[in-house]
Amino acid sequence: MKFATLNNGARDGQLVLVSRDLTQQTRLDHVAPTMQYLLENWSDIAPELEILYQQLCRKEIETSSVFEPAKAMAPLPRAYQWCDGSAFLNHGVLLQKAFNLPPQENYYTVPLMYQGASDAFIGPEEPVYLPGESHDIDFEGEFAVFLDEVPMGCDAEKALSAIRLIGLVNDVSLRKYIGQEMQSGFGFMHAKPSSSFAPVVVTPDELGDAWKDGKVCLPLHIEWNKQWFGDANGSEMDFNFGRLIAHAAFNRTLSAGTIIGSGTVSNIDSLKGSSCIAERRALDMLEFGEIKTGFMRFGDHIRMEAFNQSGESLFGAINQTIQQGGPNHE
């Protein structure tokens, strides 16, 4: 199944079911008004929605309408918890080598994770408003999972069974503050503004064979200012989503609606490109001995999308610009 949340003027939006080809939608007011409601009542609602989904894909619902990604909010516009990992170890290794950073203790055995801002996620075609270019604006292409409730102490294998939906996220970063906030030991604040999401989230079965061992085994296609930037594949994830979920649930119950991010998708083969500017800058250093890639500037455009083996877009696209200030900025 595929779902999206439309902007209807309310904070949590209007949940819709979206056809497999992302062309049609049908409202779910009578079953699940919001994404949060759906996740909290999944076991009771999902069987009915599966029947409705098949009807929608066969174009048997007379009240269906055209799905327009530009009208979508983030699938879950605000979440109780957003925990972002760093599950692709190659990403950190490249940064360490290029910039002579000290090795991270237990880097290969314990996932890195931070708890980010989750009260105001950004929609797929909304601008990303930020205070200044001097903060070293970066994008980070990631996959993410949306969870049912996870009990405290849940192991990695059982944790996978709590995944209800999978999505695509741009974990926006302000690189100027990452180093100093990591050194503080208190986690990210200024380094991590609100993240943005692709319009559609999907159940794991929609990925077919590309959902394997708790990983999204598909390339993440990224274009920066309409120029190819990367097609790194999620199959090289060192800590799968089960490990990340179990790590987050070590000392707490994860409420239904918790989102877990994979961290920047990164591959050992640099010819596949990168999913963030910081990694490209690290590759610059390793190859040329100097940085040749700058960070984002206001007016820059970013597009992220993942396609299945048939070339069909799975989640729709993150398709947005970076702008100064906020909607009322002068």
Q: Which helix (H) or strand (E) holds 173?
A: strand 173-174
pLDDT tops 50 at residue 270: yes
Residue 9 tokens read as 């003027």
Q: Would you say 201 and 216 are in contact if contact means Cβ atoms under 8 Å apart?
A: no
pLDDT tops 90 at residue 79: yes
Q: What is the pLDDT of residues 129-177, one digit of tens each?
A: 999 999 999 999 999 999 999 999 999 999 999 999 999 999 999 999 9
What domains lie within the chain, and their CATH numbers? 2-71 (no CATH), 82-324 (3.90.850.10)
Distance (Å, whole) CA 283 – CA 219: 19
Residue carrying structure tokens 């959902």:
211
User: Amino acid identity of 309?
Assistant: Q
Q: Would you say 204 and 166 are in contact if contact means Cβ atoms under 8 Å apart?
A: yes
* CB-based contacts of 154-162 (< 8 A; 24+ apart in sequence): 154/245, 154/246, 154/249, 155/246, 156/214, 156/240, 156/242, 156/243, 156/245, 156/246, 157/242, 159/241, 159/242, 159/243, 159/245, 159/246, 159/249, 160/214, 160/240, 160/241, 160/242, 160/245, 162/245, 162/254
Task: Quote the mean pLDDT of the chain.
Answer: 95
Q: What is the pLDDT of residues 177-232, one digit of tens each?
A: 988 888 787 888 888 999 999 999 999 999 999 999 999 999 999 999 999 999 99
Q: What's the rounded mean pLDDT across residues 42-71?
A: 96
pLDDT tops 80 at residue 328: no
- What is the Rg, in whole angstroms, of the alpha carbon atoms belonging to the chain? 19
Bridge partners of 201?
3
Distance (Å, whole) CA 10 – CA 23: 24
Q: What is the DSSP pairing of strand 112-115 with strand 128-130?
A: unpaired
Distance (Å, whole) CA 266 – CA 268: 7
- DSSP state string for 176-232: GGHHHHHHHTS--STT----EE-S-EE-GGGGGGGEETTEE-SEEEEEETTEEEEEE
Give the pLDDT confidence score for residue 105 in this predicted structure: 84
Distance (Å, whole) CA 255 – CA 222: 31
Q: What is the pLDDT of residues 30-52, one digit of tens each?
A: 999 999 999 999 999 999 999 99
Distance (Å, whole) CA 294 – CA 305: 23
Against a cut of 0.85, is the pTM above it? yes
User: Ramachandran region of residue 247, left (φ > 0), alpha (ψ -120 to 50) or beta?
Assistant: alpha
Give the pLDDT confidence score for residue 184 in this predicted structure: 82
Distance (Å, whole) CA 42 – CA 191: 34
Give the pLDDT confidence score for residue 327 in this predicted structure: 52
Q: What's the rounded mean pLDDT across residues 60-81?
A: 96
